[in-house]
Structure 1
Amino acid sequence: MGASSPTGGNFRQRLTQDEKTAETRRRLLDAAIGCLIDRGYANTTTSEIAERAGLSRGAQLYHFPKKEELLTSAVEHLYQLMFGEMKEKVSRLTNEDDRRATAIDLMWEIANGRFMTAWIEICVASRTDSYLRESVSAAKDRAAELIDRSFRELFPRPAGAPTEYDLIPEVVLLILQGMALEGQALNSEFTTKVLTALKTFKL
């Protein structure tokens, strides 16, 4: 009978419900990231997340009964968004004559982006909120692997380069993140000098 057939209407309805569930969770996670960006971690509440997502408080509690569950899931969602952004930017480097200068400019874009703002909020919060620490640490490790793999592909190790050569992308990103954290307080002339130095220093 149709009701028991894997190709019947009931099976299709179950898939549709799965899709609806995934969409609802995505809306909540997008809203959580929006709150982190606009309000900061300390001022992010599950009630506001639900409101931003256009969902009832009950719907939010159904999918994420605890704030901890919502925010740890938001870490993974944020990583996926940042991963997609990074892949898109790396794809721009394939045919560039001056890859290093372009790579620095693209990394500076990432450091000043909205996703990085949310990431910094999460990272700072993970210092004192142990439930976030494991998720943040895992995401950092995965991001480091992506950066390292991309760097090796785009900038093969020169003959005779020291072992520290492999640390360059992580060090550069840490410098840019620190500068971005200064925001408007950072002197624009100093920013230009640092970016120029990163583009021209001898490897």
Structure 2
Amino acid sequence: MGASSPTGSSFRPRLTQDEKTAETRRRLLDAAIVCLIDRGYANTTTSEIAERAGLSRGAQLYHYPKKEELLTSAIEHLFELMFGEMKEKVSRLTNENDRRAMAIDLLWEIANGRLATAWLELVVASRTDSYLRESVSAVNNRMSEFIGQSFKELFPRPDAAGADYELIPQIVCLILEAMTLKGQTMSPKLTARILDALKTVKL
């Protein structure tokens, strides 16, 4: 059969070399994140990443010759995905009366999501892997800036607020992250009480 007509539904434009490179790297970075989620940092290997991406070992080495390069790039890719997820959820906060409770629920949903699982694997690993630490710290700083700015827009500072009012979103996020690290070892009743307290405690 001949080639499909450019106006037909099956027509796909050919990718440029730069587009092919970007797509191959995206597949590798997506596979690295999935591997971190499914296998954990300690069991994530470049060979398995290549296999999950549907690429040869040679293709993986061509784009990322070292595991360090692949995983530090995966950190940046993961940030973009988490940032997009958080922006989408923040956009839901439209109910003035219930906004704080809804914000806590959304943050808890993010903290227990698959992307956060990959992130925690990298955070823990960065304690002993110095090549990860700089990238993880940079993402932490960028995410903190976004959270802080969103907090200012959603919850204007009350006149009677203390000097540390702007630290509240960072404190909340740290609490939720610590609770996530405990995972299923933490009492569900205690988890529920802490979430309720975060929604109702006087700021």
TM-score by length of 1: 0.91
- 1:94 is aligned to 94
Aligned to 1:177: 177
Equivalent residue for 2:3?
A: none
Deviation at 1:95, TM superposition (A): 3.8
Which position in structure 2 is the counterpart of 1:80?
A: 80
**2: distance between equivalents of 1:35 and 1:131?**
19
1:160 Cα deviation (Å)?
2.2
Q: How does 1:31-110 map to 2 (within 5 A)?
A: 31-110=31-110
**What's 1:9 paired with?**
none
* Structure with greater helix share of residues: 1
- Cα deviations across residues 140-199 of structure 1 (Å, max 9, x unaligned)? 000000000000000010002111111111110111111111111211111111111000
Normalised to the residue count of structure 2, the TM-score between the two structures is: 0.91
Q: Report the aligned-residue RMSD.
A: 1.3
SS of residue paired to 1:98: helix
> After TM superposition, where is structure 1 displaced by more than 4 Å over at least 4 residues in a row?
none
Q: Describe the superposition over 1:14-41 as per-residue Cα deviations: whole angstroms up to 9, x where unpaired.
A: x711111111000000000011111111
117-126 or 44-53, which deviates more: 117-126
Distance 1:127 1:103 in 2: 30
1:97 Cα deviation (Å)? 2.9
- Distance, in Å, in 1 between the alignment partners of 2:71 and 2:23 is 17
- In 2: Cα distance, 1:46 partner to 1:108 partner: 31
Matched, 1:136 2:136: yes
1:96, distance to aligned residue in structure 2 (A): 4.7
Counterpart AA for 1:64: Y
Aligned residues: 191
Which residue identity lines up with residue 136 of structure 1 in the other structure? V
Q: Deviations over 1:71-98 (max 9, x none)?
A: 0000000000000000000000024531
The separation in 2 between residues aligned to 1:49 and 1:80, in whole angstroms, is 19
